[in-house]
Structures are given as C-alpha cells and as structure tokens.
Amino acid sequence: LSLESRLRHAVDHEEFELHFQPLFDMQGLGIIGAEALVRWPQEDGSMLSPGTFIPLAEETGLIRTMGDWILKTAARQLQSWHEAGHALKMSVNLSLKQLKSEEDVARFHAIVHPFIDPSWITLELTESMLIADPTAIEALMEKLNEYGFEIAIDDFGTGYSSLSRLQHMPIQTLKIDRSFVDQIDPAGKGAAMVAIIRQMAESFGLLTVAEGIENEVQYQHLLEHGVNFGQGFWYGRPVPDAEFRGTFL
Ligand code: G
Ligand code: G
Ligand code: MN
Ligand code: NA
C-alpha cells in the first residue's frame, strides 16, 4: 500500500495520537501550557513523526480532516486537564491549507467551544505562511482573534516576513526558532538574534517563546534577555497524556 492510501485510511479511522510538550514560564519555572504534536502509530509498534507525513497530508488535502481531529482532540484534552484543576494553555500547529476562508475559522470555533473556551488555545502559524498572501491571512487571523483564539508565529526568524506588516498583524506571540537557541553561546551570533527578536517583540507588544532549549546555559541566557516562555528537551520532551500528567502536573 502506498503511503498516501495508508494515510487516507488512518485519517478515516482517526489512527493518530497527540503528544504534549510542556511550555514553561521562564521567570517562575512553572508550567503554563503544552504544545500538541501529532504522531502516527504504526502496526509494528513504531511511531511516525509528523515530518514524514504532514507534507503528504498537505499535498493531498488530508491535512484538513486530520487537522480538525487534532484540534478537537487537543481541546478535549485541555478540558480534561482543566477539570483536574490545571489551568493550562494549549498550542496547536496549523498548516496553511487548513486556513483558507472564514468558514474554516467558524468551524475551528465550533470544534473547540464545546470543550474549552478558545482563548485557552494558541494556534501556531509558521512565518512562511504569512508570505504568499499576507492580506488574506491577516483577515483570517483577525477572525481567529475575534473568536478568542490566540496566534503565535512559529519558527520565527527563518521566514522573511515583512517587519512592517508584522508590526500590525493580529498576533500575540513570537516563537524564536530553535536554530537561534541552538547557537547560544554567550559570544555567538545566536545570542544576537535572540536579543534582536526579543526587542522587536517588545516594541510590537508581543510575547516571546524560545523553542528547543536543551541546556541550562541556553535557559540562563534566554532568561537574561527577557524571553517570556520556554520549551525544549531540557524542560521536557513531547509525551502522551498519561506521562505528561505524571511528569509535569
Ligand atoms: O514533533 P516533530 O518534531 O516531529 O514535528 C515536526 C514538525 O511537524 C514540526 O514543524 C511541527 O510543527 C509539525 N507538526 C507537529 N504536529 C503538527 C500538527 O498537529 N499539525 C501540523 N500542521 N503540523 C504539526
Ligand atoms: O516546528 P515546531 O516548532 O512546531 O516543531 C516542534 C518540534 O520540535 C517538536 O516535534 C519537537 O519534537 C521538537 N523539539 C522540541 N523541543 C526540542 C529540543 O529541545 N530539541 C530539539 N532538537 N527538538 C525539539
Ligand atoms: Mn510549533
Ligand atoms: Na518551530
């Protein structure tokens, strides 16, 4: 069977899982939320990561049905954490193909609101999604905000978005790309990029998340630069719900 027909079958039968990676407040060290990351369990017990099937899901359009399931499952998970007394936020990645019209925005709201108020959900759009048709995407982001969803720009610093446009975009958070965190060595250029993005975020009135924090040197450096939130293997890897609760809640 081709990967595409297996993927189609998996979408029809909802054969995916979500893993959750914790997000921490840099100052307080407390957990403030999680990012939902999709996984595809295989018959041999292995787990395919999204890099191997999201591009195909995007090409085939399957990402739309898959994305609805991801959003619903993330919202239901968040409801269950909230019911257990953990007031966390949830970040969910979106592909450009999932966000084509106002109907998509209304559907996202209809999917989420039976479980949780959309203001607990942050939708992550990559910087590259802003480039093709910034006027259209900006209007849809405004609609998302109207329904209560927050918006974060993922992989920020790698995508050549127009800074003058970014300044006026209805977004709340910049996620500093992992590649800049990787380069942190107090004298290196990675540090300069972190400082620049942080300062820009501040003057645009945006919060910052540093992704891919793998050690304490990076953490300290990001803290000193005033980055608001952190995520990475140093805090915790993406894990299934049971392990997430056992480890972080
Ligand atoms: O989890 P992993 O590091 O393998 O993720 C690889 C890529 O897949 C990341 O860029 C991530 O944003 C993307 N990804 C993970 N989960 C989802 C999802 O639910 N929807 C979309 N569109 N992309 C996702
Ligand atoms: O593109 P996006 O930011 O959505 O990608 C998220 C992916 O990054 C997750 O699939 C996760 O596995 C990966 N990731 C998260 N933290 C780290 C980290 O500290 N180091 C590395 N190498 N990858 C990470
Ligand atoms: Mn992401
Ligand atoms: Na990223």
* pLDDT tens digits, 169-225: 999 999 999 999 999 987 777 788 999 999 999 999 999 999 999 999 999 999 999
Q: Which atom of ligand 1 is nearest to the CA of 238?
A: 1
pLDDT at 187: 73
User: What average pLDDT score do residues 99-125 get?
Assistant: 98
pLDDT confidence of residue 191:
81
Whole-number pLDDT of residue 110: 98
What percentage of the chain's residues is helix, strand, coil (to nearest 5)? 50, 20, 30
Residue of minimum CA distance from atom 23 in ligand 2: 212
For residue 19, give the ligand 1 atom closest to its CA.
1
Tokens matching residue 87: 């007031």
**pLDDT tens sequence across 36-91:** 999 999 999 999 999 999 999 999 999 999 999 999 999 999 999 999 999 999 99
Alpha carbon of 225 to those of 29, 62, 138, 212: distances in Å? Answer: 16, 40, 29, 16
Joined together, the tokens standing for residue 68 give 């609805």
**Do residues 94 and 124 make contact, with C-beta atoms less than 8 angstroms apart?**
yes
Pocket of ligand 2 from Cβ distances under 6 Å:
21, 37, 93, 154-155, 211-214, 232-233, 238
pTM, whole model, 2 decimals?
0.97
The pLDDT of residue 89: 98
User: Is residue 29's pLDDT more than 80?
Assistant: no
Angle at 11 between CA 8 and CA 16, to 5 degrees: 130
Tokens in use for 146?
């109207």
Give how far Cα 2 sits from Cα of 16, 52, 72, 100, 126, Å: 18, 13, 27, 28, 29
70 pocket-lining for ligand 1 (C-beta < 6 Å): yes
The CATH number of 3-248 is 3.20.20.450
Question: 77-88: string of b/e by CB count within 10 Å (b at 16+)?
Answer: bbbebeeeeeeb
Q: Give the integer Cα–Cα distance in Å for 90 and 81.
A: 10
DSSP state string for 155-207: EETSS---HHHHTTSS--EEEE-HHHHHT--TTSHHHHHHHHHHHHHHHHT-E
What is the pLDDT at residue 130? 92
Cα 1 to ligand 3 centre (Å): 30
Which of 91, 42, 87, 47 has the alpha carbon at shortest distance from 70? 91
Ion ligand 3 neighbours (CB, 5 A) are: 93, 124, 154
Amino acid 239 reads V
H/E run at residue 10: helix 3-12
Per-residue model confidence (pLDDT) at position 1: 86
DSSP E strands in the chain: the ranges are 17-25, 31-41, 47-48, 89-93, 121-126, 150-156, 173-176, 207-210, 229-230
* pLDDT (mean) for 111-125: 98
At 126 the pLDDT is 94
DSSP 8-state class, residue 15: -
8 Å CB contact between 122 and 89: yes
Residue matched to tokens 């369990």: 41
Ligand 4 centroid–CA 126 distance in Å is 8
ipTM exceeds 0.90: yes
CB distance 99 to ligand 1 below 6 Å: no
pLDDT tens digit string along 227-249? 999 999 999 999 999 999 999 99
Between residues 141 and 159, which one has the greater pLDDT?
141
Going from the Cα of 176 to the center of ligand 4, the distance in angstroms, rounded, reads 8
Substitution site in 90, 211, 216 for ligand 2 pocket (most atoms within 8 Å of beta carbon): 211
Distance between CA 148 and CA 184 in Å, rounded?
35
CB of 50 shorter than 6 A to ligand 1: yes
